Amino acid sequence: MYFNPRIEQKIVRTVLWLFTFITVAILVFIVVFILRKGLPVVNWEFLSRNPLDMGKAGGVFSTIVGTIALTLMALVVATPLGVGTAIFLTEYTFENRLTRIIRFGAECLAGIPSIIFGLFGFILFVTKLKFGWSILSGGLTLAFMILPTIIRTSEEAIRSVPESYRQVSFSLGSTKWQTVSRVVLPSALPGIVTGVILSIGRSIGETAAVIFTAGSVLRLPSSIFSSSRTMAVHFYILAREGISMPMAYGTAAILVIAILVINLATYYLMEKFIRRYS
C-alpha cells in the first residue's frame, strides 16, 4: 500500500493532534467535573472546621491536617533515604552486580500495589512495632511506597549532570563530597524535586496503604502517635458508605486543588532556583 508522503504527513499530524486533544480533554473533564460537584460545599467553614456526624456535616479540617502530617512524615523519611541511595549508586560505586541488584529491587518495589504496602505497614509498624494506627505508621508505610520513585528519579537527575562538572570540580582540588554537595546536587536538584513532587502526589492521593496504617479517626491528630484520616481516605469512606456525596465531592475538589497548587508552587520555585544557578 502506498501513501503519498504529503498526505501521510497530514494524517499522522491529525492523528497525533487528536491523541493529544483526547488526553487533555479527559484531564480537563475530570477536573471540571469534580470542581463543579465539589466547589458548592467548599467555603471557609468547610476548610476550617472538623467533620461532624461521621462527616455528614461540618468541614474537613482534621483530614487536611492528617494529609499534610502523613505526607510530610513520608517525605522526611523517604527523601534523605532515596536521595542518599541515589548518590551512593551514582557517585560512590562503579556500576557492578550489586548496584544492578539494588536498582532491580527498587524497580520491583515500585511495581507493588499500594495495598500490599498497607498490609506490610500494618503488620510491621502497627502490630509488631506497636506504633498502632498512627501518623508514624502511615508515614513510614508511605515512605517505603514512594522510596523507589525518589531513588529512580534522583538517580536519573544525578546521572544527567555533565561528567565535565565533576572533572572540573576534582581538578580544582575538591573532595568527593564537596563535588557531590556543591556541584552535582545543585545541578540535579530540579530533577530530584520533580521526583519528590510526584511522590507528594502519590502520598496525598493514597488510600489503601494509609487506611491500614494510619486508621481513619476523624479527630484532629495531636502527635505522630495519633491515628488520623487523610482527605483521600475521607473521600473514600464518605462515598463508599454513602454518608454524604456532596461532602465527598467537596473533599475531592480540595484534593485536586491542593495538588495543582503544590505543582504550580514547586515549578515557580524551581524556575527561580534555576535562574539563580545557571
Partner 1 sequence: MLNKINLEVFHNEILGIIGPAASGKTTFLRSLNRLNDLRPGSRVEGTIEIDGQDIYAPEVSVVELRRRLGMVFATPVPLPRSIYENVIFGNRLAGMRNKHELDDLVERSLEQVGLWGEVADRLDSSACKLSGGQQQRLCIARILALRPEFILLDEPTSGLDPISTMKIEDSLNRLKKDYSIILVTNNTKQAARVADRTAFFLSGELIEIGPSDKIFTAPANPKTNDYVSGRFG
Applying CB under 8 A, which residues contact partner 1? 94, 162, 164-175, 178, 182-183, 186-187, 277-278
Q: Is 164 or 223 the residue whose CB approaches partner 1 more closely?
A: 164
Q: Is 50 or 174 the residue whose CB approaches partner 1 more closely?
A: 174
Q: In the complex, what is the shortest distance from the CB of residue 171 to partner 1, in angstroms, rounded to a whole number? A: 4
Q: In the complex, what is the shortest distance from the CB of residue 167 to partner 1, in angstroms, rounded to a whole number? A: 7
Q: Which position has the grid cell 524556575?
A: 271
> In this structure, which amino acid lies at residue 244?
S
Spatial separation of the C-alpha atoms in residues 160 and 157, rounded to whole Å: 5
Spatial separation of the C-alpha atoms in residues 184 and 86, rounded to whole Å: 12
Q: In the complex, what is the shortest distance from the CB of residue 95 to partner 1, in angstroms, rounded to a whole number? A: 9
Q: In the complex, what is the shortest distance from the CB of residue 187 to partner 1, in angstroms, rounded to a whole number? A: 6
Spatial separation of the C-alpha atoms in residues 77 and 142, rounded to whole Å: 9
Q: Is 98 or 168 the residue whose CB approaches partner 1 more closely?
A: 168
Q: In the complex, what is the shortest distance from the CB of residue 146 to partner 1, in angstroms, rounded to a whole number? A: 28
Q: In the complex, what is the shortest distance from the CB of residue 195 to partner 1, in angstroms, rounded to a whole number? A: 20
Q: Which of 140, 185, 151 is nearest to 79 (CA)?
A: 151
Q: Is 91 or 156 the residue whose CB approaches partner 1 more closely?
A: 91
Q: Is 5 or 173 the residue whose CB approaches partner 1 more closely?
A: 173
CB 28 within 8 A of CB 232: no
Q: Is 138 or 191 the residue whose CB approaches partner 1 more closely?
A: 191
Torsion region of 120: left, alpha or beta (phi above 0 gives left; psi -120 to 50 gives alpha): alpha
Compute CA 56 distance to the chain's CA centroid, rounded to the nearest angstrom. Answer: 29
Spatial separation of the C-alpha atoms in residues 234 and 52, rounded to whole Å: 12
Q: What is the DSSP letter of 58?
A: E
Nine cell digits for residue 57: 456535616
